[in-house]
Amino acid sequence: MIVAGCDIGSLTAKAILLENDEIISSAVIRTKSRPAASAREVIQTALMRAGSKLEDIACLVGTGYGRNQIPAVDRVESEISCHAKGAHHLMPTVRMVIDIGGQDAKAMRIEEGGAVAQYRYNDKCASGTGRFLEIMAEALEIPLAEMGAIADQATEKLVITSQCVIFAETEVISLVNAGKQTADILNALHRAMAKRVAALARSIGVAQDVVMTGGVAKNKGIYTALGKALNLKIKSLNGNDPQLIGALGAALCAREHADNG
């Protein structure tokens, strides 16, 4: 039996197909302005890779900003539950999930059984989101994917304090104007962001093991900076793509749902 999870985020759309607990295929695409279209495309891509058809999907669960617009969705789940479920499935020892999405950052504390004990979103205007990094990448005219690598070459310690994404952008621009190195600016950005997210995690009590989910987790700069800020080792999801965890969680819900008929 094939079940599917689809996570329509603000920046990217993801889909995962499960066949009795095995991930048989997955897909990630950039979101279109119409979530239904994004959903259709990302699910089709995943199906194609698995060589199966929409009819084969016994149950489809949606999550993320666009969850209610996914065509043929059987039920929807909140991102919080899905990220928790997905992470706990891959790593039963996980007690805290930090998800940095496009629009917001979330920290969740997980109970042994995988239930969410407590969770918290970032404050209004707090600059700890994927969109924040995107805007900064644009301002510095570098590809998002290379941010982490570039930041590693930092030599000078700069400080960026503004919480407003747009004002932080002004700060970055003025640092550039002051002739500062891109690597140093990026490094400062990562540290600033990591500090805020760490504070978010602390606000509900940090518990190990800690994992990071969401696209931003792929940014090595943030990943290491956050580890430093929390001063612990953030576990890697043994080879699994952190960006897909939401979709995975949704797929797992789909399986449960299908099992209970």
Partner 1 sequence: MTVVAGCDVGSLTSKTVIMRSGRILGNAIIKSKPNPVESAQTVMQAALAACGINMADILCCIGTGYGRNNIPFVSDVKSEISCHGKGAQWLLPSARTVIDIGGQDCKTIRIDNAGQVVRFAANDKCASGTGRFLEVMSGVLDISVDELGNLSARATAPVTLASNCTVWAQADVIKFVNSGCPLADIGAGINTAMAKRVAILANSVKPESDIIMTGGVAKNKGVVSTLEKLLGHQIKKSRKADPQIAGAIGAALFALETINSR
Partner 2 sequence: MRPELMQYNYDWMMAKTLEAAARFPLGTPTETRLALKYMPYYQSIADTFYTAGDPGMQLLNLLSEYYTNILKAHESGKKIAATTFCQSPAIFYAMDVVPVTFEVLTALGGLVWKRGLFDYMDYCCEIGMTETSCSSQRGAMGAYLAGLGEEIDFVVCDTPGVCDTNANAFSFAAAYLDKPFFQLNYPSSLGDARSEQYHLDDYKALVSFLENHTGQKLDYDRLASILTAVEEQDNLIAELEDMFMLEPVPLPPIFNLALYTGRFTFCGHPAFTRLLTSMRDWAWKRAKQGCSGLKSGQENLRVYMCYIDHYTVDMNFWNYLDERGIANVGSILTRNFRDFNTYTREFEGAGYSLDVSSKDAMLNSIAQLNSRLPMVRSIRGPYDQPNMWLEETLAITKLCRARCVIYNGTPGCRNTWGMVKPFAREIENQGYPVHIMYGDAFDDRVESWESTRERLDEFFQVRGLL
Partner 3 sequence: MQAFLNAANQIENHAIKAWKQRGKMIVGYTCSHMPPEILHAAGILPVRLRGIQTEGMEIGDAYFGPFICSFPKCLLQQAGMGQYAFLDGVVIIPGCDAMRRLDECWRKAGNDHENILPGWFDYLDVPHKSEGHGLRWYQRELRNFLTRIEQYFGVTVTDDALHESIDTYNRGRQLLQSLLEFRKLDNTVVSGHDVFAASVAASVLPREEFNRQIEKWLTELAIKKPLAGNTKRLMVVGSISDEIDLFHLIESESQALVVAENLCFGVRQAGGQIATNGDPITALASHYLTTSVCPRMFGKYKERLALLKETIARYQVQGVILQNIRFCDLHGSENGLFERDLEAIGIPCLRIEREYGPLTETGRIKLRIDAFLENID
For every residue of 158-185, which 3-state class applies, written as one string?
CCCCCCCHHHHHHHHHHHHHCCCCHHHH
Q: Which stretch binds partner 3 (CB under 8 A): 76-84, 154-162, 218-226, 241-249?
A: 154-162
From residue 108, how far is each of 2, 81, 88 by CA, in Å? 29, 9, 11
Q: Which of residues 117-136 bind partner 3 (CB under 8 A)?
A: 123-126
Should residue 174 be labelled a site residue for partner 1 when binding is judged by CB under 8 A? Answer: yes
- Tell me, what DSSP letter sits at residue 233? P
Residues 6+ apart with CB under 8 A from 146: none
121 near partner 1, rule: CB under 8 A: no
d(C-alpha 36, C-alpha 181), whole Å: 42
Residues in a beta bridge with 28: 14
Pick the piece of the chain touching partner 1 (CB under 8 A) from 16-24, 31-39, 53-61, 204-212: 31-39
Cβ proximity to partner 3: between 2 and 136 the closer is 136
Looking at residues 158 to 187 of the shown chain, list those that interact with partner 3 (rule: CB under 8 A).
Answer: 159-163, 167, 170-171, 174
Phi and psi angles of residue 108, each rounded to the nearest 5 degrees, phi first: -130, 135
Summarize the chain as % helix, strand, coil (round to 5): 45, 20, 30
Q: Which among partner 2, partner 1, partner 3, none contacts residue 66 (Cβ within 5 to 8 A by kind)?
A: partner 1
Characterize the bridge pairing of strands 2-8 and 57-63: parallel
Among partner 2, partner 3, partner 1, none, residue 103 binds (CB under 5-8 Å by kind): partner 1
234 binds partner 3 (CB under 8 A): no
Q: Is 123 exposed, middle or buried (0-12, 13-18, 19+ CB in 10 A)?
A: middle
- 121 binds partner 2 per the rule CB under 8 A: yes
Eight-state DSSP code of residue 77: -
Residues 72-101 that bind partner 2 (CB under 8 A): 78, 80-81
User: Binder to partner 1 among 21, 22, 55, 141 (CB under 8 A)?
Assistant: 141
Contact criterion met (CB below 8 Å) for 34 and 90: no
Report, in Å, the least distance between residue 98 CB and partner 2: 16
Say which entry of partner 1, partner 2, partner 3, none residue 131 contacts (CB below 5 to 8 A, set by partner kind): partner 1
Determine if 215 is a binding residue for partner 1 (CB under 8 A): no
Interface residues with partner 3 (CB under 8 A)?
123-126, 159-163, 167, 170-171, 174, 191-192, 195-196, 198-199, 202-203, 229
